[in-house]
Amino acid sequence: MNTPPPNSPAQMTITAQPLLSQNKKDARPLFMVLVILAFLATLTLLAVASGYRAAAGWHDNLDGTVTVQIKPNENTKQAEQAKTILSELPSVATVTILPSEHSKKLLQPWLGDAPLPDDLPLPVLLDVKLKTKQELNIKHVTSLLSAAGIRADIDDHSQWDEEIKRTTGAARVLSLLALALITIASVAASIFATRAGITGQRRLMDVLQQVGAPPSYTARLFSFRFAWSGFKAGAIGALAALLVSVLVGLLFSTSGGFSYFLPGLHLSLADIYLVITVPIILALIIALTSWQTVVKTLFDEIYP
């Protein structure tokens, strides 16, 4: 049986080649830049999310509670009296007289661990929990207690709540600023990379316009290539940041009081979603930027 010659159309199979050449050596520096940007963006996002959660936790702890401090005096029954008065208020859920050990503990940072003399006058603290979405009229309560001859300070924690709001607001602005800078850096990096890619593939671009390829066709080639590269870099950077966050979270949880003053870095399911969005958003930014850059170059330089 006669076989067709090797160059016969019927027999020859030609494997499709990608139009854009793969130059991994040239692409490596940009890839590293994108990994770092994704890493920083993910860390910032996780820190923001964690800060929000911690602030919300603090707010929840402070919201709905009032501390009543009865000044030291010889009448030991005043605390019980105050408890009765407060318990009768419609907005109050529970009133607890805190043991004197609690007041002593609060003095430890200033007086040290040495035992305190029994005759040291200490205020009595009452922890008042309010019913859900109820508020306490501080002036009214103060006048009720005064009428009963009880000298007391009432703290509804609003001062601390405001402080937390201010701090978290500042942190939010700083984090958004950091994210904006990272986004700008990503756009700049992808413009730079696309321009370098265009220079390296100039012959291909010239030939594509020569054979009548629409600018969108050429732009699609570049934006798909760069977007895929951005997605891979974003995934690596985001995973690295997630790993670092987990390690830092573990460190915080084992460092005792250190985390008492800082928001706890505990990851939640929402954080995983945030991490997943980073490579997707990075790829989209790069796709759009490189598309725009290629189309602009084509119209500016190739199509008169």
Partner 1 sequence: MNHQNARPDINNSHHIRSGNATANIQFDRVGFRYDRDGEILSDVSFSLPQGSMTFVTGPSGAGKSTLLKLIYLHMRPSRGLITLFGQDTSQIERASIPALKRRMGIVLQDFRLIEHLNVFENVALPLRVAGQKRANYQDDVLGLLKWVGLGARAHALPPTLSGGEKQRAAIARAVIAKPEILIADEPTGNVDDDIGHRLIRLFAELNRLGTTTIIATHNIALIPDGANILSIKNGHISGYISGVEIS
Residues that bind partner 1 (CB under 8 A): 6-10, 12, 14, 16-17, 19, 21, 203-204, 206-215, 217, 299, 303-304
Q: How many CB atoms lie within 10 A of CB 171?
A: 17
Task: Give the CA-trace dihedral at 217, 222, 227, 228, to 10 degrees.
Answer: 100
In the bound complex, what is the minimum distance in angstroms from residue 202's beta carbon to partner 1?
11
Report in angstroms how near the CB of residue 11 gets to partner 1 at its nearest: 10
Task: Decide whether 163 or 206 has the Cβ nearer to partner 1.
Answer: 206
d(CA 52, CA 55): 5
Smaller CB distance to partner 1: residue 217 or 258? 217
- What is d(CA 127, CA 85) in angstroms, rounded to the nearest whole number? 14
277, 293, 187, 268: which is closest to 234 by C-alpha? 277
Phi, psi for 38 (deg, rounded to 5):
-65, -40
Angle value at C-alpha 59, between 64 and 249, nearest 5 degrees = 140
- Taking the least distance from each CB to partner 1, the nearer of 113 and 300 is 300
Q: Are 226 and 270 in contact (CB under 8 A)?
A: no
116 DSSP 8-state letter: P
In this structure, are residues 152 and 142 in contact, taking their beta carbons and an 8 Å threshold? yes
Taking the least distance from each CB to partner 1, the nearer of 13 and 254 is 13
Q: What is the residue whose two structure tokens read 């993910």?
A: 42
Question: Hey, what amino acid is at 226?
Answer: F
Q: Report, in Å, the least distance between residue 200 CB and partner 1.
A: 11
Pairing of strands 65-70, 152-155: antiparallel
In the bound state with partner 1, the residue whose beta carbon lies nearer, of 12 and 138, is 12
Nearest CB to partner 1, comparing residues 99 and 214:
214
Compare residues 9 and 115 and give the one whose CB is closer to partner 1: 9
Q: Least CB distance from residue 299 to partner 1, whole Å? A: 6
Q: What are phi and psi of 280, to 5 degrees?
A: -70, -45
Burial of 170 (0-12, 13-18, 19+ CB in 10 A): exposed
Least Å from the CB of residue 223 to partner 1: 17
**Spatial separation of the C-alpha atoms in residues 98 and 106, rounded to whole Å:** 12
**CB of 21 vs partner 1, minimal distance in Å:** 4
Q: Nearest-CA neighbor of 150 among 219, 85, 54, 247?
A: 85
Q: How far is the CB of 211 from partner 1 (least distance, A)?
A: 4
What's the min distance (Å) between Cβ of 10 and partner 1?
8
| Residue placing its CB nearer to partner 1 in the complex, 77 or 203 | 203
